[in-house]
A and B are shown apart, each in its own frame.
Chain A
Amino acid sequence: MNAARFFALIAILGVAVACVGYAFPAINFLLAVALSKGLAVLGLVMMMRAGLVSFGQGLFYAIGGYTAGILSHLYKVHEASLLIGAAVLLSTGLALVVSFLIARYRDIFFAMLTLALSMILYGLLVKSAALGGTDGFNVKSITFLGMPIGGTARYSSLLVVLGFALGGIVASYVYSRTAFGRLAEGLKENEIRVEYLGASADLIVRISYVGSAVLAAIGGALAGILVGHVDPEMAFWATSGEFVVIAVLGGSASLITPFAAALVLEFVRSYATQYAPNTWQLVLGVIIFALILFLPAGLAGLHKRRKHAKTTVGA
């Protein structure tokens, strides 16, 4: 898809979501939560494009949530742009350090190590009495550039989250058109060849990891503000697992479908937890089985994905 059409498409989608939110206030909260989760999933998708699956995306989701939470709760900073800025800085720093450890790993080793790292944070948060332990704590009276968000200000919250989601999509789109972004898809296919082209596979893994961490942290900070609460569950591996499920559902061929998948899942969940609380995970599991078996395209990032045939050459 060329750039002009892509930007037109996301502009239209952005306006559409804003309109739907305006017309149906009852779903604003759900939409906003789905979009903030979608940001974390978008990060995951960017990694999948480089052939990596993280089972620890919750680590940075929680970092984002807790950064926003701690700053507002303990240091009385209530401006969301500052909170999110801090979340971005902190997640970048942490991801940079961690990336040197994990860049050596691929496949299931990468998946497991990211999982274990998120469990380190979980273990710390659960036992930290100052941060409310297992219960977490509340995040209240947040404003974005002076406008109240979170709590009952649901439509303005939705617009803010929507802005960040669109920003995340644009940033990911631009990155995928840089040299590193291009090489990332080669990495998924054939790492030896990438190294023999003079590019560093580990460096590309590190860049993908940091980028993905930042997206997750923004998502986490926004989710914390929206829900008005953060707790260690954000770092728990089941949260990361849910992100993986959404990413698989959306596939990694598009930067927009992760958000759509997050939305679908939030809707299904809001009904399932109400009417069939003990079969929600079962349904989720069966959906994954079916996707892998029948729709490998939904699994695009893990298997095959291809843009349409490009320019014809010569004959």
Chain B
Amino acid sequence: MEPAIRTRNLMKSFGAVVAARDVNVDILPGTISGLIGTNGAGKTTFINMLTGYLRPDSGSITLDGTEIVGLTSREITRLGVARSFQIPQLFNTLSAIESLELALAAQQARGLRGFALVSEDELEARAVELLKEFGLEGFANSLAGTLPEGIRKLLDIAIAMARSPRVLFLDEPTSGVAAEEKFAIMDRVIAAARHTGLTVLFVEHDMEIVRRYSDRVLAFFEGRVLIDDKPDVVLSDTQVRTLIIGEEPAHA
């Protein structure tokens, strides 16, 4: 099967800091992959490159076989890639439902269609669907800027999902959220993803979440892919345990 995302020899450095060193990754369509690594291992940089926010120094990224290096984040989004952010990127003075309506309207904001009236009723109906899918009905009329962090994370993801993407990148979907809410968020998101056969890559620090929700796990260390395998294999790997999870080496 052709991978949904394929990177070859991806390189990126910021001055003396190497954020990506020969990264070769294949992500199969419809799979859910966890991405783990210490702070500064290059996880966010990787997502930023995949979504066109940063341009790699060299190497190739293909989306369903099409080269996307050099495209802007806007163009990549239009090809069916969506992302959420470590710090949710919301419209703080809009309510949740208005934010989703706006996100839905974005699909039309191109060329002459952008000057056509949007159908308020249709936008609202679809926004309500999204709210329900992510369990946000109760916050429909709250301003995004006033929502608690866990809800902000979910809204950020729901906004990303408004374009019905094929590939979704989640940058730390549960960071800054109370432990008991983490699973609730992931349950929602993964259910929605499985429902539509979405390809997902998520960055995560909580190994329990990684184990529970991933089909595959990529471990990054100092800009390199340390290991790329099934969750059990990766999480029991000695290097991963010492370098990333931070356990004392092997006298267990």
Chain A residues in contact with chain B, CB under 8 A? Answer: 174-175, 177-180, 182-183, 185-186, 189-190, 192-200, 203-204, 207, 304-306, 309-315
- Number of B interface residues at 8 Å Cβ cutoff, please give it: 46
Q: A179-B106, A198-B110, A310-B98 are in contact. List 18 more A-B contacts (CB 8 A).
A: A175-B115, A178-B115, A183-B109, A185-B91, A190-B91, A193-B91, A198-B107, A200-B110, A304-B93, A306-B93, A309-B141, A310-B124, A310-B141, A311-B140, A312-B140, A312-B141, A313-B131, A314-B131
Partner of B137, one of A189, A195, A304, A313: A313
B78 at the interface (CB under 8 A from A): yes
The smallest beta-carbon distance between B178 and chain A, in angstroms, is: 22
B103 & A197 in contact (Cβ 8 Å cutoff)? yes
Q: Which residues of A contact B137 (CB under 8 A)?
A: 313-315
8 A Cβ contacts from B148-186 to A: 159-160, 162-163
B73 & A199 in contact (Cβ 8 Å cutoff)? no
B93 & A180 in contact (Cβ 8 Å cutoff)? no
The segment from B13-21, B32-40, B82-90, B193-201 found at the interface with A is B82-90
Q: List 28 A-B contacts (CB under 8 A).
A: A177-B120, A179-B109, A182-B101, A182-B105, A183-B105, A183-B106, A186-B91, A186-B102, A189-B90, A193-B91, A196-B51, A196-B82, A197-B102, A197-B162, A199-B74, A199-B109, A199-B110, A306-B95, A306-B143, A309-B141, A310-B98, A310-B141, A311-B140, A312-B141, A313-B131, A313-B137, A314-B131, A314-B132
8 A Cβ contacts from B49-102 to A: 51, 72-74, 77-78, 82-83, 89-95, 97-98, 101-102
CA distance A98 to B217 in the complex (A): 50
Chain B residues in contact with chain A, CB under 8 A? Answer: 51, 72-74, 77-78, 82-83, 89-95, 97-98, 101-103, 105-110, 113-118, 120, 124, 128, 131-132, 137-138, 140-141, 143, 159-160, 162-163
Q: Which residues of A contact B163 (CB under 8 A)?
A: 197-198
The smallest beta-carbon distance between A176 and chain B, in angstroms, is: 10
The smallest beta-carbon distance between A302 and chain B, in angstroms, is: 11
The smallest beta-carbon distance between A221 and chain B, in angstroms, is: 24
The smallest beta-carbon distance between B107 and chain A, in angstroms, is: 7
